Amino acid sequence: MTTLIKLEDVHKIYELKGTEVPALNGISLSINKGDFVALIGPSGSGKSTAMNLVGCLDMASKGEIYLKENNIKHLSESDLAQIRGKQIGFIFQVFNLVPSLTALENVALPMVFQNVPRNLRLKRAHELLKQVGLGDRIKHLPNQLSGGERQRVAIARALINDPEIILADEPTGNLDTKTGDEIMRLLYDLNKKGKTIILVTHNQDLTKLANKIIRLRDGKLVGS
């Protein structure tokens, strides 16, 4: 198996009004290419912090993080931006869609920052919206879509630059059970097509599709 992500004795400490607040306390783990990982723990366990570090959205206070054998602390901000833009796709609980843009334009948006011509990015966005079952919703604004449809738009947007890794932070948190199951099935299908999925959740029921479960509590690894 090819190791895609590796954390070695990673700590993250925030400063709050002059006081150090530890969020992660020396976690070490490996994620292989093609894994479906569930990172599970209660609120405040450090799971979202861990996701932010893996996604190059934040840097560790101590320890090493490797992405495809590259130690990310040695990379420039430009390199990290390229990783965030092309190698990693992000899906969030609150969708983070731009209200004034159509579904098609929201999906195509990450390609703007990769300087892809407009006709090519809209074509790719349309293809992805069809893949997630929204081919007839391309001109709808976010407020004209249901919660499940908005999350499908967010998934299509995460896929637009064909990333190897999908980071999904509580992707069903704002959805009803039936719609949440549909989103989980979509993530499972993406994993079967070769995408590495990292699912951050506090819901034990969502771990059933994962092949690897990593549990955090109080910033420490408690089981996997």
Q: What is the DSSP letter of 146?
A: -
Is position 201 within any domain?
yes
Which range among 141-155, 169-183, 200-214 has the greatest average pLDDT? Answer: 141-155
CA distance 120 to 50: 34
Q: Is the pLDDT of residue 215 over 70?
A: yes
33 contacts 88 by C-beta, under 8 angstroms = no
pLDDT of residue 223: 64
Is position 5 within any domain?
no
Handedness of CA 185, 188, 192, 196 (dihedral sign): positive
Is position 2 within any domain?
no
Q: What is the DSSP letter of 198?
A: E
Can you give 85-108 as a three-state secondary structure string?
HHHEEEEECCCCCCCCCCHHHHHH
Residue 66 sits at the vertex; the CA angle it makes with 60 and 67, to the nearest 5 degrees, is 115
Is position 175 within any domain?
yes
Is position 218 within any domain?
yes
Both structure tokens of 97: 């869609």
Is position 188 within any domain?
yes
DSSP 103-133: HHHHHHHHHHTTT--HHHHHHHHHHHHHHTT
> Domain limits at 145?
33-62+73-223
CATH code: domain of residue 102: 3.40.50.300
Which contiguous run of DSSP H or E holds residue 205? none
Q: Structure pTM?
A: 0.90
Is position 19 within any domain?
no
**Residue pointed to by tokens 């976690």:** 27
pLDDT tens profile 91-139: 988 889 999 999 999 999 999 888 899 999 999 999 999 999 999 999 9
Q: Measuring CA to CA, which residue among 171, 186, 125 is closest to residue 137?
A: 125
Mean pLDDT along residues 3-25: 92
Q: Is the pLDDT of residue 173 over 70?
A: yes
How would you list the strands of the sheet with 3-16, edge to edge? 19-32, 3-16, 62-67, 70-71
Domain count of the chain? 1
Is position 109 within any domain?
yes
Q: Is the pLDDT of residue 82 over 90?
A: no
pLDDT of residue 16: 85
Both structure tokens of 148: 């499940």
